[in-house]
Structure formats: C-alpha cells, structure tokens
C-alpha cells in the first residue's frame, strides 16, 4: 500500500500503527508544540473518493458527540495538505486482536477490567443514541493495566427508535462478518442488543482465542451467526467458569429479546459473574 507524504501541514508522520482497507493509521508529531497524535489517512489511491471522505466526516460527527475516558477523542478532519485525514488522540497500545494472537492466558489478569471498560464505552454510545455496528477486538486498544479505548465509528448509526421499529426500517448490512448479529446480517433495524451480540463475540474470543464461529467463506460464516447455536466457551478454555460460559451464551442469543436488554444490564451481570476460575498473576 502506497505511503502518504511524510508531512501533512503541521503534522510529521513518524510510524504506521494500523491499516484498514481504505485508510492507514499513523503516529505523528504536530508542530509547533511537538504534541504526539494519531492520524487516520485515506490511502492515496482513494484520496479523491467522496464516499471515503463522507465516512471520515461521519466518524468525526459521532466522536464529537461522545465524551468518555474509554472512547478515543477525535480533534478534527483536515481536507487540505494532502489526503483527507482525521487527527485524533494517540493511545500507544496494541489492539486486542493482536493481544489475543499472543495468547489469551496473558490477558487473564486484566480480562475483567477490559471487558467492563468496553461495556462502559458501548453503554455511553448507546446513551448518546448510537449503535457502534463494528465492535470487534481490532477496534479496542488496551493498555497493560487493562485501560481501553474504543475506536472506529465510521459505520456507527443512530439506534432504531419506536418509529423505526413500527415501520420495520431496514438498514444496509455493514460490519465485520465474525462479529455481526443475526439482525445486522439481515439488514433489520438495529438497537443496543445488536452491539450486545457483537460484544458477546468479542468476549468469547477473549476467552477462547478465536471467535465463536469460523467458516471457509463469508456466506457460510454469516449463516452460522443466523442459525447455528453458539458453542460453550468453556469447551475451549478450561479456565473459563460455567457461569461465565452461560453469560456469554446469553449475549449470543439469536433473538434480540433473549439477550440482555441493555449494556446497563450487561454491566450489572459483569459485577456478579466470574469469567475465569483463576485470574493469573
């Protein structure tokens, strides 16, 4: 993938810290104060694509409506001095996908804090009227002490209210196949319970080292989310408690009505359920 220019106005790019299909994430230094920031840049080949610019505009709109210590701050969108880019808070820690790949046992001592803080971040989004729609380990940065930052609001959408439910409003099915709720796959109107399902997929992966469903191709994977019962996570991690495994399965219920009704309810259950027999050192 082509590298952007070393400088974007007052920003000097230092190192690439992330990459997506159409964007790169860089650590940068902002003159004149020398402040370290993160920069999300549309890749040069897509720099003139209005759809990509709209995604950045939307992400800024969502982020500026949020204010929580577990959610990344976005300062501004810049459309000059090179490709369109977002300037945001730098949180110099790897995402959970990378940390899971290194082994879930290493996450055990801070697992309870990690999942609680993710739930707090998502609950804050829901309180402000947003459904994230792309909750996955890639979109959570986690420090060694378990402090997290939720990132990437490009496809967040307003939760369906009474009118949307009454009219049976449809949405475009967007998201990451390993973490999408059945109703999200169907393109149905979404509320907080869709994010709760995705949160359940993340929690399963944090315990088992892999998502609840895998398949040879995306269609088979999506079909499993829609119709295949979720496996018990304690089959893959002997350290997972029976209660924790049962809790994860409620999050992964096929019908939204069978899941916790809100992230507030998820947080209440997290205060009482023990996810692991041994939390580690």
Q: What residues are annotated to the active site?
A: 134
What does the buried/exposed string (b/e) look like for 108-144 if buried means 16 or more CB atoms within 10 Å of the residue's CB?
A: bbbbbebbbbbbbbbbbbbebebbbbbbbbbbbbbee
Distance, CA of 120 to CA of 263 (rounded, Å): 8
Q: Do residues 188 and 170 touch, judged by C-beta distance below 8 A?
A: yes
Return all residues near 18 (Cβ < 8 A) that are at least 6 apart: 24, 25, 95
- Residues 147 and 116: their CA atoms lie apart, in Å, by 10
From start to end of the chain, where are the E strands? Answer: 7-8, 11-19, 23-30, 35-42, 74-78, 85-88, 130-131, 140-142, 148-150, 157-158
Q: What is the DSSP letter of 188?
A: B
Q: Cα–Cα distance between 79 and 174 in angstroms, integer?
A: 26
Q: How far apart are alpha carbons 70 and 268 in whole angstroms?
A: 18
Angle between helix 192-208 and helix 111-127 axes, rounded to 10 deg:
170
Question: What tokens were used for 189?
Answer: 């109107």
Handedness of CA 203, 122, 56, 168 (dihedral sign): positive
Label residue 214 exposed, middle or buried (CB < 10 Å: 0-12, 13-18, 19+).
exposed
């Amino acid at each position: 993938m082509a590298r952007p220019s070393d400088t974007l106005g007052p920003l000097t790019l230092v190192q690439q810290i992330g990459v997506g299909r159409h964007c790169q994430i860089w650590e940068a230094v902002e003159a004149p104060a020398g402040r370290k920031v993160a920069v999300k840049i549309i890749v040069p080949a897509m720099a003139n694509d209005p759809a990509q610019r709209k995604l950045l505009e939307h992400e800024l709109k969502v982020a500026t409506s949020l204010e929580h210590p577990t959610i990344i701050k976005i300062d501004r969108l810049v459309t000059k001095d090179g490709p369109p880019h977002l300037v945001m808070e730098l949180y110099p820690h790897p995402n959970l996908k990378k940390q899971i790949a290194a082994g879930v046992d290493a996450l055990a001592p801070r697992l309870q804090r990690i999942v609680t803080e993710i739930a707090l971040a998502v609950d804050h989004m829901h309180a402000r009227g947003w459904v994230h729609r792309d909750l996955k380990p890639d979109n959570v940065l986690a420090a060694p002490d378990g402090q997290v930052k939720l990132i990437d609001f490009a496809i967040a959408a307003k939760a369906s209210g009474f009118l949307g439910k009454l009219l049976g409003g449809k949405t475009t099915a967007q998201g990451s196949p390993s973490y999408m709720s059945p109703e999200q796959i169907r393109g149905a109107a979404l509320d907080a319970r869709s994010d709760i399902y995705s949160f359940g997929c993340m929690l399963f992966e944090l315990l088992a080292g892999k998502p609840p469903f895998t398949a040879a191709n995306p269609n088979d994977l999506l079909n499993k989310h829609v119709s295949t019962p979720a496996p018990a996570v304690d089959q893959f991690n002997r350290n997972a408690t029976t209660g924790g495994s049962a809790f994860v399965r409620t999050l992964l219920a096929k019908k939204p009505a069978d899941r916790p009704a809100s992230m507030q309810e998820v947080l209440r259950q997290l205060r009482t359920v023990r996810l692991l027999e041994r939390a580690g050192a």
